[in-house]
Amino acid sequence: MNSSPNFWPLHQQVAAIARGELSARELVLGYTERLTAFDGTLATHVELSPTALDEAAAIDDAIARGKTLGPLAGACISVKDNYLTRNMPTRAGTDVDELCFPETDSHVVSKLRDAGAVILGKTRMHEFAWGNITPPTRNPWNTDCVPGGSSGGSAAAVAAALCSSAMGSDTGGSVRIPATLCGIVGLKPTFGLIGRTGIVPHSWSLDHAGPLTRCVTDSAIILEALVGRDVNDPSSVNSPDAKYQPPADLTISGQRVGVIRNHFSERLSTDVTASFDKALIWLKQKGVEIHEFDVPNLDYGLGAIFAIELASSSAYHEHAIQRGLTRGFNPDVRDLVEMGRLVSAVDYLHAEQLRTELCKDFAKIFDTVDVVISPTSPITAWRAGQWELEIDGSLESVLAASWRFTYPFNLTGMPAITVPAGLDRNGLPIGLQIAGPPFSERKILTVAAAFEAEHSYADATPNGFN
């Protein structure tokens, strides 16, 4: 593992800054140097904060004066380009100049600043978090490959140690997919647990804010800083649990773990299957009870989330459609946004009815088990420009394949985390997904931390960027 502070997990950076062993300004300068050296290749950021060094200097000065600061003091956190920021423009991945967004801090950015974080910059994303076309961001594990989306800039930046951590948004897997493809940790919390005011929406009932980090503990620390009522977000809820960091004792013996066989074991690469089988063996060795289930309604889940997402996106972009501004969108994004107008009220209600049935299905499962595990993605990173690939003998679009295992937990609003679970035969990361019932974040974080603690590839860094 690289000894430079820029490669340390966020919680180690913050602790060193608090002790005066590392300066926040030094950390910002280190990331700035790395961005200068590597972001020409990776293209992770679209903006860098003009005030980052001044903010870091103020933190160093406050610490020198003996002042106690917040739990993220000095950490350099970048945010996806759909998070509003007061000192940097927000584009939400679009080049349409007529679409402007306020220069004010989103709820999340405000909470990060209150906790002492330095907002380092804005990360690149798919246009309006939609579509097949990946922006120029590349995967640090293989720069011929995509980082996943739509929070691809955030994932690639964290994987290449270009920031302490980053924030993303997750509508069908857009935190967890790029996190697994880039070999890092990605957390999608319970729906409403992190307020979304000031995040350019994609689908109101599916959007979640979440962190992408180098380790599980970092995700827990950031979550602790972000929970709490957002008065301007009607879906926001008060957290029933203010502490999410895993305990020192990571014993998971006796935990009940569910495996859904009819969906999460279908049409996936042999390397992903092998990785998941190894995870199951490890869990059994740790004294975990494995329970298997079938959820037949998942056969129709992808159609349901697609209908909800299409209709929601068209509703948000209705004025842009009427003004002809969607002509400036990427062709695949334009098609998806305009296609949503074809979703009928009956279609939408059927999708919501299936969503309710899936929530009931998972509620029954969680009466029996504590968490559910699966591969995060059935595939590893694919080559830039590739639209479909062969999985288990049949062709499938990379878009449909990549979110097949993540979207169920957006439909149900349940928390899910991905952790690194090895590399495929081409040296590309594989992820393990751990999900639980609403507000079970501490439980899934503990299982994730236990897995991370005994698997050395959790600290792996892409060659060429260390």
Give the separation between CA 149 and CA 132, rounded to whole angstroms: 9
Q: Which two tokens stand for residue 17?
A: 């800054």
- First-last CA distance in the chain: 9
Helices first, then strands: H and E counts in the chain: 16, 13
Cα-based distances in Å from 228 to 5, 149, 223: 30, 27, 10
Of the residues 23, 106, 150, 377, only one is catalytic, namely 150
Q: Is 284 a catalytic residue?
A: no
Of the residues 23, 80, 164, 286, only one is catalytic, namely 80
Of the residues 151, 154, 165, 174, only one is catalytic, namely 174
Q: Is 239 a catalytic residue?
A: no
Give the separation between CA 451 and CA 250, rounded to whole angstroms: 9
Q: Which two tokens stand for residue 36?
A: 């200068």
Cα-based distances in Å from 70 to 15, 65, 108, 152: 11, 15, 15, 28
Q: Is 80 a catalytic residue?
A: yes
Q: Which helix (H) or strand (E) holds 168?
A: strand 165-170
Residues 212 and 179: beta-carbon distance below 8 Å: yes
Q: Please choose, from the candidates 127, 150, 52, the residue with its C-alpha nearest in 3D space to the C-alpha of residue 403.
A: 150
Give the separation between CA 314 and CA 67, rounded to whole angstroms: 49
Residues 192-217: b if buried by 16+ CB within 10 A, e if exposed: bbbbbbbbbbbbeebbbbbbbbbbbb
Residues 160 and 439: beta-carbon distance below 8 Å: no
Residues 140 and 157: beta-carbon distance below 8 Å: no
Give the separation between CA 171 and CA 208, rounded to whole angstroms: 6
Q: Catalytic positions, please?
A: 80, 150, 174
